Copies of this chain bind each other. A is one copy, B any other.
């Protein structure tokens, strides 16, 4: 295999015509790999690096890794960065990759990034499978369990979702899903119209673009009812307010796909390639987050690299209306305010929380926060002075930022920082519940195990940290992501078995939401990550 380098040559003629093309020349300087090593490195890059650096290596959360940058660093320096990480936020990978694999990856990123293929609707449809025919869906739950207190749990590195009974703490089943599922969403209560059996159907999106539909009314062995695939690389999914459509967003190809929520048959695909806020074309304009707007018949689609929030009406797919709200780069993850009108999303490279008014279909505000905001599922609560507030953790610093989010009732506080709470370490997830006095923040991004394994809890009134909870002390494990149970009496925290990711040695630790004391440990889970309590999610308890 020979490596190729592109050189752009520009033609222009007297009449003012200018057209440019790529001329091709084979460079002897570019490093090479055998075809087998190239394909393995390409796969490892895709699984572990592309999320931050992009398939085309243009950079996003991570740095640009195109040859013009990587060739300057050279093989040895690149190997060291991959092995040990950097101060700038790059993880170490010496515990995941062998020395030879690190060497090959360092070479791979000095080569021209291969452009993955496109995916047509027809290709997607070829992956659509029916495991249970809709006519055979049960008319009532086929088990005696309190399914509204089920937790749907991502088992990241197993490519599975666990269904856990929140009342009994039993694992009901493990369901095959796509690879490294990022998010699972269910049908929700909606202001305009919603499905009668709201909360029953759940949809997973794998990093590999695989979509699986789960029916919580089925007997455990039949809960997986349908499947399709809408991209090679994907992150988020949502269900329309009326329960009729599922939408999922692609990292590659850069598009979103609207599917029939019953059969998962892909109906509509829309490209998100476009221009960023500086007016530069972005081929890899990835769909980061997708949410159903609780008060509109529309989806909110966040296009990471273009800094655009697309409000997509789903009432007429053939005449699809999209409002492209320009905000800031790079859009990542967000959550609605309690009224369901305002969507609050992190623009992590701009250190801002972006707020979209979905009623007026326009940018409402941009709030300056700290380095790399990342709210995960987010948290809304009432502050004594500021009124309704929202909060976020940060990937880049140990800080929770809290802002007013009630422009009607508290216009002076709205979209302004109310207060900040310093934590011991940078984190990825924040969570609370309307019945709770406390707000929980994890510290997943801190390099020291002791902090990474602890979550911190602060009081809504005093704004002081009341407890630091060491969730695990086992080597190679980290604590992350909190979710309350249906009545708000428990908080569930994941323990990630990071260095033993192929075995079910992860767990979920259940705490009493009032006493903050440990109640239970649910074992037998592989890298448990996001957890979604049916009742809380169907009722927008954020």
A residues apposed to B, CB below 8 Å = 1-4, 8-11, 13, 15-26, 35, 38-39, 42-43, 46-47, 55, 112, 114-122, 124, 159, 178-179, 206-208, 210, 232-233, 252-253, 255, 266, 269-271, 273-275, 278-281, 316, 318-326, 361-363
Contacts of A281 in B (CB 8 A): 118-120, 253, 255, 271
Given A278-B120, A278-B122, answer yes or no on A16-B114 (Cβ-Cβ < 8 Å).
Answer: no
A-B pairs with beta carbons under 8 Å apart, 8 shown: A11-B43, A16-B159, A17-B207, A17-B208, A19-B43, A19-B233, A120-B280, A271-B275
Q: Are B114 and A23 in contact (CB under 8 A)?
A: yes
Query: Which of B3, B11, B279, B318 makes the CB contact (< 8 A) with A122?
Result: B279
Chain B nearest CB from A429 CB (Å) reads 25
Query: How far does the alpha carbon of A35 sit from the alpha carbon of B2 in the complex, in Å?
Result: 21
Contacts of A269 in B (CB 8 A): 275, 279
Contacts of A15 in B (CB 8 A): 159, 178-179, 208
Query: How far does the alpha carbon of A319 sit from the alpha carbon of B11 in the complex, in Å?
Result: 36
Taking A18-B208, A270-B275 as known contacts, 18 extra A-B pairs with beta carbons closer than 8 A to each other, sorted by chain A number, are: A1-B24, A4-B4, A11-B43, A15-B179, A16-B178, A17-B179, A19-B116, A21-B115, A118-B280, A121-B275, A121-B279, A269-B275, A270-B274, A271-B273, A273-B274, A319-B362, A321-B361, A322-B323
Contacts of A323 in B (CB 8 A): 319-322
Measured CB to CB, the nearest residue on chain B to A157 is: B15
Could you say how many copies of this chain the assembly holds? 2
Query: How far does the alpha carbon of A225 sit from the alpha carbon of B474 in the complex, in Å?
Result: 73
Query: How far does the alpha carbon of A4 sit from the alpha carbon of B2 in the complex, in Å?
Result: 10
Measured CB to CB, the nearest residue on chain B to A40 is: B11
Query: How far does the alpha carbon of A321 sit from the alpha carbon of B319 in the complex, in Å?
Result: 13
Given A4-B24, A319-B363, A361-B321, answer yes or no on A18-B279 (Cβ-Cβ < 8 Å).
Answer: no
Contacts of A4 in B (CB 8 A): 4, 24
Q: Are A273 and B273 in contact (CB under 8 A)?
A: yes
Query: How far does the alpha carbon of A280 sit from the alpha carbon of B118 in the complex, in Å?
Result: 8
Contacts of A159 in B (CB 8 A): 15-16
Counting from the closest, the 5 A-B pairs by CB-CB distance are: A121-B279, A21-B114, A118-B281, A319-B362, A271-B274
Contacts of A16 in B (CB 8 A): 159, 178-179, 206, 208, 210
Q: Are B325 and A43 in contact (CB under 8 A)?
A: no
Query: How far does the alpha carbon of A11 sit from the alpha carbon of B42 in the complex, in Å?
Result: 9
Given A210-B16, A271-B281, A323-B319, answer yes or no on A21-B2 (Cβ-Cβ < 8 Å).
Answer: no
Measured CB to CB, the nearest residue on chain B to A6 is: B115
Measured CB to CB, the nearest residue on chain B to A207 is: B17
Contacts of A122 in B (CB 8 A): 278-280
Query: How far does the alpha carbon of A42 sit from the alpha carbon of B22 in the complex, in Å?
Result: 11
Contacts of A19 in B (CB 8 A): 42-43, 46, 55, 116, 232-233, 252
Chain B nearest CB from A48 CB (Å) reads 12
Measured CB to CB, the nearest residue on chain B to A280 is: B120
Chain B nearest CB from A8 CB (Å) reads 6
Contacts of A1 in B (CB 8 A): 23-25
Query: How far does the alpha carbon of A324 sit from the alpha carbon of B268 in the complex, in Å?
Result: 12
Chain B nearest CB from A526 CB (Å) reads 12
Chain B nearest CB from A109 CB (Å) reads 13
Most buried by B among A17, A42, A116, A122: A17
